[in-house]
Structure 1
């Protein structure tokens, strides 16, 4: 998606709002997590396929699939199918605020996986902020543990699933980057989400016995219909187009990506205003610590440059 440079940061911000509101609309559907993940990616993949096939520069999806299928298919099944199954399933147990905050740790996992796969060193700043992020995660785990003692501990499972989701998405981001360099981010994203949608459809059908029939969408309550459509087209198709297009057009891609760390704040606001969630002090502390630590880490290089301009 070709976005003028002057609108790049706005496009990225709107894309972040799409990421941040996905938990909100997923809860609003009233559909169980495994099933809602299928609906989201079937609709989202359809939207991305229509967009990609309508453009000359992204129309050729056969070439990257033919050349990269050995890498692309397992990556899509793990980084899209399993990751977002866990993401939506976690919302059946944990709160919107918990899940949104934990997903923000993706950059921390990216650093660790980059170290393991590409031997990219982790700076002192990354180590410090990584420790702080772990403290924030511990706050949410403690909140879940207290729930174990008082009400059966369902939120703890949701928190653990959200952490695993973040790790899988980070792994996909690192391993899929070479494919995007060779074939373009839009084509690889379209293929990955389409393959992931098929994987979700089959997986949920086999393990949950829920074979989603797209035609049955019209039979659902009106709130569920428009929530699922928004989740698929807005939170998946349009969000991906704006996010990727904005990052590609931004004069400083890294700085534009910093906007992602507003995600838990936006998600928490939506949950409080529209879903009536009441965040605990531990959840609020986790938002501050996790978002703040990661945001500080990405700003640290600019601080050093400013302090040593020569």
Structure 2
């Protein structure tokens, strides 16, 4: 027994020392720390990237902090908000929901409803068009794709007068979808839902193998069933991206909403918040900043919830 223990002890010492010669090599031992790189080499390879990241983060975060600090400043101007968080007063947030002249709560609900309905309609129309161009072969297919791309080259401001006159004419016949109606504004937004969204979805739809459609057709499935039960589940990332971009764009849109919506109770946040700083003698930047902070909560929350789809949805369609 004694000789066996002595041999085991000798074996452990040989293994620990790295060999019979007693030399110890840290690189061959599991868990040993890797040698540190010199600072110049570290900075040249990866260190400068951290400095760039910190600078970009500071550049992006500072305006947010400044707006939030201005919303807590009771002075009502931006000049006294240069000292960040020097004054802390939440009266501006309370004034948003107590003013009868500026119904902020109604603006928030209107923006939420218009944005969600427009996003859902944009996703549905864009997905239907992209599926048709991707899976079906028909006369005028290439011309239709080119037309959608060319139409998007012209700014929407060129059609502003035409849209206004069209909404006035429609309102004379169908007041529910004419001028000063939220449904009419949604229909105008959906009128521009195709174009770049269709092209974005078209590239993603092409990454889905057509053999899936052929197998479903053999089992007796039609285009509608294939689209709603199979394809939509496979292209969920691009649907989330288009829906998010549509919601953000609709929520921040000002020109069309200010032209079509007239009554204050029907207006959106982009139009309503402008009233706080548009008056000649009563510009209140503190309340405007408070309203902007609250208006940004929902888009930021949606962006964080859908961020795992954004990279895949924007890049997957570019490899086909």
TM norm. shorter chain > 0.5? no
Kindly indicate which of the two structures has a greater share of residues assigned to helix.
Answer: 1
Of structures 1 and 2, the one with the larger relative CO (CA 8 A, separation 6+) is 1
Q: TM-score, normalised by structure 1?
A: 0.27
